[in-house]
Structure 1
Amino acid sequence: MALKDLMELIRAPAVLTVLGDAIAGATAAHGRVGRSGIAASASSAGFYAAGMALNDFADADLDRIERPERPIPSGRVSSGKALGVATALTAGGLAAASSAGPRALRIARPLAACVWFYDLIGKKTALGPLSMAACRGLDVIMGAAENGWRSAVLPAGAIAGHTLTVTQVSRGEVHGTSRVAAVSAAVMAIGAASAAVVRGARSGRRGGTVGSVIGGAAFLASVLPAFVRAARDPSADNARDATRRGIRGMVPLQAAFAASHGSPGGAVFLAVIDGAGRVIGARRKQGDVT
């Protein structure tokens, strides 16, 4: 398997959008990222990449009709190799979680199961958006697990809620979405950004307030226009664009929560990640991050 094909299979640029889940959780727990937060972020990346490979394995027959350019239907990657990649990356994610600590590993196990459930079963049912949201919520909780997961309930809920509505929009990438799904995504985005800003204001730190406002504003600027366009015209093209922006917009939302919990370093790191993701996304000629 060529490296280029592997990177397309796992949607490598999109993996950047998941690193901040654990950072948002870790900073909520004790105001900094720490060693366990870094290890949890690595675990998140492994699970996300595994989920992308597993997605293409599960959708191989459908993609031959709807997305023949993808690695499996185009013949560049076999279904067996895609499943092997997903299995290896899941194992890597569990190993990284183990290095974060025993509590993180306890969250990582159901998280890994949730990823596999979504791709193999849940995606094609009414449970699809809920199971995807659960994956992202657990991802945030994993980052906080070693230092008290309850402190991360707010960012976990906001990120999970945003994921839920974006996943609903993504179901219309081929045949068009619905206005209700697009409007719901816009309303949820406003709510998620507001939660981060309110948390920053309550922190009592000027930096937390300013950082959360900047991150929240960047998040809304990234996602709201696409959701509004999809609400006005719920075509497949607009659904795909809203989904891409909804996924990439996760990073400034994560940064807003990191800042709100007193971690300017975490917020700046995520801002750099966001910038790198935008540059990579602008240069991509084919494939998608959805």
Structure 2
Amino acid sequence: MGKIYFKAYLQLTRPANIITAISDIWAGFAVSGAAAMLLIPNTGNGDSFVFPLIYLSLATIGLYGGGVAFNDVFDAKLDAIERPERPIPSGKVKISHAAWMASSLILLGILAAFQVNIWSGFLALAVGFLAVLYDAWGKHQAIFGPINMGLCRTGNLLLGISVIPELILNFWALGLIPLAYVSAITMISRGEVHGKNKNALICGLGIYILIIALLLFIAFMEGNAGWIIIPFVGLFAYMILPPLIKALRLQQPQLIGKSVKAAVISMVILNASLAASFSGWWVGLCILILLPISLRLAKIFAVT
């Protein structure tokens, strides 16, 4: 019985999704150049980035886990009707316990980020605030809701870059990629229960294609042998486009759900593509290692 309830608490945090959030941090690390210094021997100050990487990875675990747990807290009444199998409506987790856990995780995430530097701490505060704002209010807004969720991922990528704070201003525009991508996923996901959201699916498809083009453009602009990113982007396209096209054709809730699940997990591939562009293919592969972990967890725990 204890194992069942422990699994229910884990389910509140969406473990497979947390792995994708860790990939945000690692991609930001790669963009800043810290990943290359950490992984390449004899680069001088590489060892100084070990603990910042650990702290920022812990920070995103707390922020993301707490954020999605609060999602179930605020949705408890609706889930009792539409998704009674979830931990709170099923009675496996008390709503007060879920709220306490979510608050603790976000607080721990913020404290972990402040161990790196003050900018990381303030970014974590912003991400935590945006996550709770989305759960309590943003998700009900047709336009701001998807943007709100996208901003959480933008902040997460910038949190990884903040290991070298002065680079945040240099690379802030990269945050527009997860902003657009996650906004599209959030918009598409609104058809998971009832389906028939053709306009959202078409818009999401357009955004996906734009992001694929941007990833290729960034790779070739960076000059790090842009061709090496093609396998990463190819895998990314293979993961997200076929499920979405099938969902668009049939507009069935279960197909939309599968499309959303594939897109969420493919955040790992998107981040690996960015990392490969800025720090080389081998850094991208280090992030891509997270993909099978996320896929495995997705078979055990629900993604949406």
Amino acid in structure 2 at the alignment position of 1:174: V
Runs of 4+ in 1 over 4 A off after TM superposition: none
Normalising by structure 2, we get a TM-score of 0.88
Aligned length: 285
The answer on 1:27 being equivalent to 2:46 is no
Task: Give the deviation of 1:177 after TM superposition.
Answer: 4.4
Amino acid in structure 1 at the alignment position of 2:29: A
Kept in 2, the 8 Å contact 1:155–1:257? The answer is no
Find the residue that maps to 1:72 and give its secondary structure: coil
Point out the structure with max Rg over C-alpha.
2
**Cα distance in 2, alignment partners of residues 82 and 68 from structure 1:** 16
Normalising by structure 1, we get a TM-score of 0.92
Amino acid in structure 2 at the alignment position of 1:14: N
Kept in 2, the 8 Å contact 1:21–1:140? The answer is yes
Find the residue that maps to 1:215 and give its secondary structure: helix
Query: Compared with structure 1, are the counterparts of its residues 90 and 268 closer, same or farther at alpha carbon in structure 2 (3 Å cutoff)?
Result: same
Query: Compared with structure 1, are the counterparts of its residues 50 and 263 closer, same or farther at alpha carbon in structure 2 (3 Å cutoff)?
Result: farther
Kept in 2, the 8 Å contact 1:144–1:151? The answer is no
Query: Compared with structure 1, are the counterparts of its residues 100 and 112 closer, same or farther at alpha carbon in structure 2 (3 Å cutoff)?
Result: same
Deviations 1:62-98 (A, max 9, x none): 1111111110111000000100110010011101211
Unaligned runs of at least 5 residues, structure 1: none
Kept in 2, the 8 Å contact 1:255–1:270? The answer is yes
Amino acid in structure 2 at the alignment position of 1:289: V
> Could you say which residue in structure 2 is the equivalent of 1:75?
91
> Could you say which residue in structure 1 is the equivalent of 2:263?
246
Find the residue that maps to 1:32 and give its secondary structure: helix
> Could you say which residue in structure 2 is the equivalent of 1:150?
169
> Could you say which residue in structure 1 is the equivalent of 2:210?
191
Deviations 1:198-251 (A, max 9, x none): 222222223xx2442222111111010111112212221122111111101111
Query: Compared with structure 1, are the counterparts of its residues 263 and 154 closer, same or farther at alpha carbon in structure 2 (3 Å cutoff)?
Result: farther
Amino acid in structure 1 at the alignment position of 2:189: S
Partner of residue 7 from structure 1, selected from 7, 10, 18: 10
Unaligned runs of at least 5 residues, structure 2: 37-48
Kept in 1, the 8 Å contact 2:74–2:136? The answer is yes
The answer on 1:133 being equivalent to 2:150 is yes
Query: Compared with structure 1, are the counterparts of its residues 218 and 31 closer, same or farther at alpha carbon in structure 2 (3 Å cutoff)?
Result: farther
Partner of residue 246 from structure 2, selected from 225, 229, 232: 229
Matches within 5 A, 1:257-272: 257-272=274-289
Task: Give the deviation of 1:154 after TM superposition.
Answer: 4.1
% same residue: 26
Matches within 5 A, 1:201-240: 201-206=220-225, 209-240=226-257
**Cα distance in 2, alignment partners of residues 151 and 211 from structure 1:** 24
**Cα distance in 2, alignment partners of residues 190 and 131 from structure 1:** 21
Moved more, 168-177 or 182-191: 182-191
Kept in 2, the 8 Å contact 1:11–1:289? The answer is yes
> Could you say which residue in structure 2 is the equivalent of 1:122?
138
Task: Give the deviation of 1:38 after TM superposition.
Answer: 4.0
> Could you say which residue in structure 2 is the equivalent of 1:97?
113
